[in-house]
Amino acid sequence: MMRRTLLPLSLTLLLSACVTNPYTNRSQLMLVDEAEETQMGVEGYAQVMAEEPINTDADLNAPLLRVGRAIAAAADKWRAEKGDEPYDWEFKLIASDETVNAWCMPGGKIAFYTGIYPILEDEAGMAIVMGHEVSHAMLRHGGERMSQNIAVGVGMSAAGILAKDSEYRDMALAALGAGVSVGLLLPYSRDHESEADFLGLQLAARAGYDPREGIRIWENMSKLGGTPPEWLSTHPNPATRIQQMQEWMPEMLTTYRRSQKMPNAPLPNALGRGPKAQKKAPKVSRQAPHEQAAGRAVATAQRR
Ligand SMILES: [Zn+2]
């Protein structure tokens, strides 16, 4: 009912609510402003971290902070070039050996899971995945997904969206990137993934990590079974992503050669070491009920 009456109105709104992303020059539907999106990221991150077991092992956190600070510096420098404020960065390691994942919420709020360490193998591998996740935030993919949901009237409002009792809280967190922590599968679109791959490799190269590590990481990931992690969504498929990375590699290597190189050390064994590693993270199994409808409606609106 609401959806039927709201849609014609929102078409006018959609046309006046598109912004051009400075990093891609792609036009994005944006019904939340960046300050709001950042605030939601900050609150959402605090909520997730209050619920998840945090691994504070110094050996395991040292590489996360080292890589994190290098990627953060490269991202903030790039943001400054575009007139954007630096992020207020945070890096947390969640003790969950079963979860092969990582994410970054708007505002530079980053989570890695202990289960991803064996796939990353070393700090350069960690830099590739962190660059990818930070890119989703810089490219405002979370705000774009929330805007798509708001546009089709699925009940999200920008204000108070993370209220404790809100039935939309989990969907908002999922839209902002923390889906694996709330058990709500909300994959990014193919365009979002390609953009994050491209900007992520650039970030890693600018930060002083060899972008060729991206290809190794993707080959590792393509051998994984089970639920695909965020950065191994089914679209584009791993072969396509590796092929794209190979095409981009000359440009990435030019950036890398100009950068101040970071040391690359193997990551320590993270499994079975967390003080609370026995607590399992929720399985990502629930489908977002509105996601497909939201995608279709917005695609239709944008074609007009
Ligand atoms: Zn991604």
Model confidence pLDDT, tens digit, residues 97-143: 988 889 999 999 999 999 999 989 999 999 999 999 999 999 999 99
State residue 104's pLDDT score.
96
Strands 90-94 and 18-20 come out as: unpaired
pLDDT recorded at residue 248: 97
Query: How many Å lie between the centroid of ligand 1 and the Cα of residue 152?
Result: 23
Contacts of 263 (CB under 8 A, 6+ apart): 123
Q: Ligand 1 centroid to 254 CA: how many Å?
A: 24
Check residue 290 and give its pLDDT: 36
Bridge partners for 104 per DSSP: 110
pTM metric for this prediction: 0.83
Nearest-angstrom CA–CA distance, 165 and 173: 13
Nearest residue to 81 via CA among 130, 39, 22: 22
| pLDDT profile of the chain (304 residues), mean per 10 | 46 72 92 89 93 95 98 98 96 93 95 93 96 96 85 56 62 80 76 94 98 90 64 69 94 98 95 62 43 34 34
Residue 123 backbone dihedrals phi, psi, to 5 degrees: -65, -30
Going from the C-alpha of 213 to that of each of 119, 284, 303, the distances in angstroms are 12, 27, 37
For position 200, what pLDDT does the model report?
97
Residue 182 belongs to what domain range? 2-303
Q: Indicate which residues carry an active-site annotation.
A: 133
Determine the distance separating the centroid of ligand 1 and the alpha carbon of 145, expressed in angstroms: 13
User: How far, CA to CA in Å, does 147 sit from each of 78, 104, 118, 131, 152?
Assistant: 25, 18, 36, 24, 9
Query: How confident is the model over 187-201, as pLDDT tens digits?
Result: 788 889 999 999 999
Burial (0-12, 13-18, 19+ Cβ within 10 Å), 66: middle
If one counts the domains in the chain, the total is 1
Residue type at position 225: G
Q: What pLDDT score does 277 carry?
A: 44
- Rounded to the nearest whole angstrom, what is the distance from the C-alpha of residue 191 to the centroid of ligand 1? 10
